[in-house]
């Protein structure tokens, strides 16, 4: 195994040989499939037409969670498996998956009773118990809840609950898993589009690829191809594409809630639940569910913005947020199984593996949290397509890049002290330890060579100039959008600010070294 970082773009390596497995799509599913297959010893090519996680996987709610709301629909196995994955991801990526407390207020009305919710949370605790679990739930009486969160609506407030789940930086998780695939031998290339599948005797034999940077095309041969493009998968499959429903989910980026580090699970007037989540000094509010017929239709709408703001005004009226407080909006697109339920929120998020043609595997559905587990089943299916017995999955116990050997809580204070000694302010040092884990060693080396890179990009946020250069040199970032939307989320936190010019100048200065 080689080092995961630097994570470098090497398109020429795709032409050197045929592969066991070609994975098309560099979202969380494609990254985990490539990582899993490479760890099992298969030769793997992973290609992405844009940037890692640039589709749905960087537009999620940034959570690793069990899906508490699915207990209401009796999807017990889905929740149990998701909570098992939450524990596992906490163990193998403790720097990227961090505990987050949720507050769930309960108002009198037609929704589930306090007793029913308490029973559901007890089951949630039970499913999520074990090494790597989060805190157990507890119940509030209204006066105690309002004393801690005075911006809640006090009218008809019956009770409240605190329960635990986890938060992640979704784009950085995708990048880290793809880099882990490279470390185990996969060839991973972004800006590489699959234009069409190659078919021959016995089924699909790879794909015609186009390098988006040079516009060169070439054929890549593989024993089995996995179409992991999610909502964009049908464009390669034509009439053999499995049926699916495309559901758009929009999030709003709002100001921080002063003094509040907890997230909230709220219910809108139509009965759907949505999240209010602290995120990098801002607040994420979402998500919505709106059906579209094609990926290019996925854009945040004014109606979705009003829907989420109405939900905020009903549940957290003390914040007094209006449309003027919206800092940014983004949306992702989920490809769900076309099972008939009463609403999108009741539709299953389970991934169904589909084999539309010989030596071709794809999937419908899935979730960010369950992607590692689902990918192991996809790789099993690929083995069977090769007429081979699957080797055992290794990803369930293999730590992701950046995970320290010792306990994270033991490692982090030492890492922060090391960064502070190198001239990084303490808040930025703590943030670096969470985004990069042990890979801060690369940043320390860079800052030792270029001390000016220890400066923050913007004084309000703990992101350093060194991270911009590191993204170019060691994280396969190709342009400013890669850097400021996925390596660092500043485009969502501070859109249309004059700080971008400084970053553009820095990228121009260091681009020649990429």
Q: Burial, 16: exposed, middle or buried (Cβ in 10 Å; 0-12, 13-18, 19+)?
A: exposed
Q: What is the mean pLDDT of residues 448-464?
A: 95
Q: What is the pLDDT of residue 110?
A: 67
Chain CA centroid to CA 444, Å: 26
Asked if residue 268 has pLDDT above 70, the reply is yes
Q: What is the pLDDT of residue 378?
A: 98
Asked if residue 493 has pLDDT above 50, the reply is yes
Q: How far apart are CA 164 and CA 282, in angstroms?
A: 20
Closest alpha carbon to 443 in 402, 404, 409, 407 = 402
Residue 342 banded pLDDT, cuts 50, 70, 90 = very low
At 164-202, the pLDDT tens digits run 999 999 999 999 999 999 999 999 999 999 999 999 888
Q: How far apart are CA 506 and CA 510, in angstroms?
A: 6
Q: How far apart are CA 283 and CA 276, in angstroms?
A: 7
Residue 383 banded pLDDT, cuts 50, 70, 90 = very high
Average pLDDT, the chain: 94
Q: How far apart are CA 466 and CA 462, in angstroms?
A: 11
Q: Burial, 172: exposed, middle or buried (Cβ in 10 Å; 0-12, 13-18, 19+)?
A: buried
Residue 283, token pair as written in the block:
């607040």
Asked if residue 514 has pLDDT above 70, the reply is no
Q: How far apart are CA 36 and CA 242, in angstroms?
A: 24
Q: What is the pLDDT of residue 129?
A: 84
Q: What is the pLDDT of residue 133?
A: 73
Q: Which long-range contacts (CB under 8 A, 24 or more apart) does 66-71 make?
A: 66/124, 66/127, 66/128, 66/165, 66/369, 67/349, 67/367, 67/369, 68/120, 68/121, 68/124, 68/163, 68/165, 68/265, 69/265, 69/273, 69/345, 70/349, 71/120, 71/123, 71/124
Q: What is the mean pLDDT of residues 311-316?
A: 96
At 204-259, the pLDDT tens digits run 999 999 999 999 999 999 999 999 999 999 999 988 888 889 999 999 999 999 99
Which domains can be identified in the chain, with CATH numbers?
A: 11-57+171-241+348-385 (3.50.50.60), 93-165+245-340 (3.30.9.10), 408-513 (1.10.8)
Q: What is the pLDDT of residue 130?
A: 76
Residue 366 banded pLDDT, cuts 50, 70, 90 = very high
Q: What is the pLDDT of residue 498?
A: 77
Higher pLDDT, 512 or 439: 439
Residue 341 banded pLDDT, cuts 50, 70, 90 = very low
Q: What is the mean pLDDT of residues 121-139?
A: 88
Q: How far apart are CA 67 and CA 229, in angstroms?
A: 23
Percentage with pLDDT > 70 across the chain: 96
pTM for this model (two decimals): 0.96
The pairing of beta strand 328-336 with beta strand 360-364: unpaired
């Amino acid at each position: 195994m080689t080092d995961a970082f630097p994570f470098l773009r090497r398109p020429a390596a795709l032409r050197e040989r045929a592969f066991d497995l070609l994975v098309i799509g560099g979202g969380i599913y494609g990254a985990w499939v490539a990582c899993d297959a490479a760890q099992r010893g298969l030769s793997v090519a992973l290609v992405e037409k844009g940037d890692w996680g640039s589709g749905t996987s960087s537009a999620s709610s940034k959570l690793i969670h069990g899906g508490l709301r699915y207990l209401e629909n009796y999807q017990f196995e889905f929740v149990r498996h998701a909570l098992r994955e939450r524990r596992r991801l906490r163990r193998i990526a403790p720097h990227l998956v961090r505990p987050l407390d949720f507050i769930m207020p309960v108002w009198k009305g037609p929704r589930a009773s306090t007793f029913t919710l308490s029973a559901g949370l007890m089951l949630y605790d039970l499913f999520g118990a074990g090494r790597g679990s989060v805190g157990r739930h507890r119940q509030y009486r209204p006066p105690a809840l309002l004393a801690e969160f005075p911006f809640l609506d006090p009218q008809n407030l019956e009770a409240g609950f605190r329960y635990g789940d986890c938060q992640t930086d979704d784009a950085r998780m995708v990048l880290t898993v793809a880099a882990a695939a490279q470390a185990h031998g996969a060839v991973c290339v972004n800006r590489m589009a699959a234009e069409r599948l190659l078919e021959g005797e016995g089924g699909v034999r790879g794909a015609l690829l186009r390098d988006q940077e040079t516009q060169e095309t070439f054929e890549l041969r593989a024993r089995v191809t996995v179409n992991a493009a999610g909502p964009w998968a049908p464009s390669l499959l034509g009439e053999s594409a499995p049926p699916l429903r495309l559901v758009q989910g929009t999030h709003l980026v709002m100001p921080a809630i002063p003094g509040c580090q907890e997230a909230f699970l709220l219910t809108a007037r139509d009965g759907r639940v949505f999240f209010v989540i602290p995120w990098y000094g801002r607040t994420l509010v979402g998500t919505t569910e709106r059906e579209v017929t094609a990926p290019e239709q996925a854009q945040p709408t004014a109606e979705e913005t009003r829907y989420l703001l109405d939900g905020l005004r009903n549940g957290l009226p003390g914040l007094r947020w209006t449309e003027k407080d919206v800092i940014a909006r983004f949306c992702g697109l989920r490809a769900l199984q076309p099972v008939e339920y009463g609403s999108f929120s009741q539709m299953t998020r389970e991934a169904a593996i589909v084999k539309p043609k010989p030596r071709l595997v794809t999937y419908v559905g899935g979730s960010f949290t369950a992607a590692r587990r689902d990918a192991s089943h996809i790789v099993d299916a690929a083995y069977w397509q090769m007429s081979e017995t699957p080797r055992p999955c290794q990803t369930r116990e293999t730590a992701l890049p950046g995970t320290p050997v010792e306990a994270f809580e033991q490692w982090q204070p030492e890492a922060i002290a090391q960064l502070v000694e190198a001239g990084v302010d303490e808040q930025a040092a703590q943030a670096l330890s969470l985004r990069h884990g042990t890979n801060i060693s690369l940043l320390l080396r860079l800052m030792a060579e270029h001390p000016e890179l220890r400066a923050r990009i913007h004084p309000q946020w703990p992101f350093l100039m060194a991270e911009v250069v590191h993204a170019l040199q060691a994280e396969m970032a190709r342009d400013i959008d890669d850097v400021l939307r996925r390596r660092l989320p500043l485009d969502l936190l501070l859109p249309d600010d004059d700080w971008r010019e400084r970053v553009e100048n820095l990228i121009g200065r260091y681009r020649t070294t990429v």
